[in-house]
Structure 1
């Protein structure tokens, strides 16, 4: 698969089979992620892999509770609240694995660096026949001291990209894309 096929074919997958993701495949996804560019080649990332379903369920419940108390004036608060209040809603969609990319060094571009690694990981997952989805609902909770403690992360780490991976139950249809606003200068 060439890179253009991966870019145009990758989708956010929210329905997975129970089939576990092989450890060596997870290793190859991490390897792909580490080939992302980073500012001044700092490579400030670390990877935490969670495959324990009880832990994922517990973290899902904690993330939902945290999000419900911190929604504030979010323009999508009503929509989010309906999902987060549902006891059957699982923020990780029962995926077999969570791969969290965290920044482990300080610097002005650590979030961007980890986001670039995340995109490499998601494209490599798609090329390997897996589905993936960046789970924003978990992101703020994992950045709390309780969230870091849940995963045994050092206090100074900055969780950036919680990405679920697994074998998709079915193909995900493309979603319409907006035409970009383009400004030409010169």
Structure 2
């Protein structure tokens, strides 16, 4: 067999392997047909979203993040000031350092929720999620906390709609805003007149938590 025939056979073999791989991936995909209209899809997305605290190690692509951020920035804000800075962190070294800073801060303290387990080996304040989102607010804007809450919800719902899981993280916020941890924010190029408002763990969910009780008696209609 001459060189050119050899190369052609290699390309053909590679193409066959690729087609087999693609077919295998397609076979693994569970096709689900949604029968509701667009309004029902939006409402269902709201009531089926859960806080995820167990993630698979599967990577989240930049294309997926771009899609989520596209819908995030359409969140409304007072006077359209958009008083937020968003950083999507995938850098393992930075994430490890953040976790270490939290563990140092947590020594001798008592927490509620999953943070109460910080003494356990392998603890991760962001639940070992592959992506950590920082939402920082403009400290000079009196309503920026509210606006950051709105963009937070957009991110949670957009991620859920694309098959990803999220968990809002509030416990680590005061750690990131401490004076001795300013270098963490500087590494993310967050302006000095901003502070962290909330964080989000993002990744592929490895659990499907049940819905928790909702308190309808907290809502009153005044006529």
- TM-score normalised to structure 2 length: 0.73
2:168 corresponds to 1:134: yes
Distance between the aligned counterparts of 2:141 and 2:191, measured in 1? 17
2:69 paired with 1:30: yes
Bigger mean CA deviation after superposition, 102-111 or 30-39: 102-111
1:79 shift after superposition: 4.2
Shift of 1:87: 4.0
Q: Does 1:184 align with 2:221?
A: yes
Report deviation, 1:67: 4.2
Q: Which runs of 5+ in 2 are unaligned?
A: 1-37
Q: Alpha carbons of 1:65 and 1:129: their partners in 2 closer, same or farther (altered >3 Å)?
A: same
Out of 56, 80, 83, the residue aligned to residue 117 of structure 2 is: 83
Please, what is the CA RMSD of the aligned residues?
A: 2.1
Answer 1 or 2: higher relative contact order, Cα 8 Å, separation at least 6.
1
Which segments of 5 or more consecutive residues in structure 1 lack a partner in the other structure?
72-76
What is the match of residue 130 of structure 2?
96
With the length of structure 1 as denominator, give the TM-score of the two structures: 0.86
Match for residue 184 of structure 2? 150
Alpha-carbon deviations, 1:79-110, whole Å to 9, x = none?
Answer: 46742333432101110000111124621100
Structure 2 residue 142 is matched with structure 1 residue 108: yes
More helix by share: 2
Instruction: Decide which structure has the larger Cα Rg and report it.
Output: 2
Residue 221 of structure 2 aligns to a residue whose secondary structure is coil
Residue 74 (structure 1) aligns with: none
The Cα shift of 1:182 comes to 2.7
- Please say if residues 67 and 137 of structure 1, whose CA atoms lie closer than 8 Å, have aligned partners that are also in contact: no
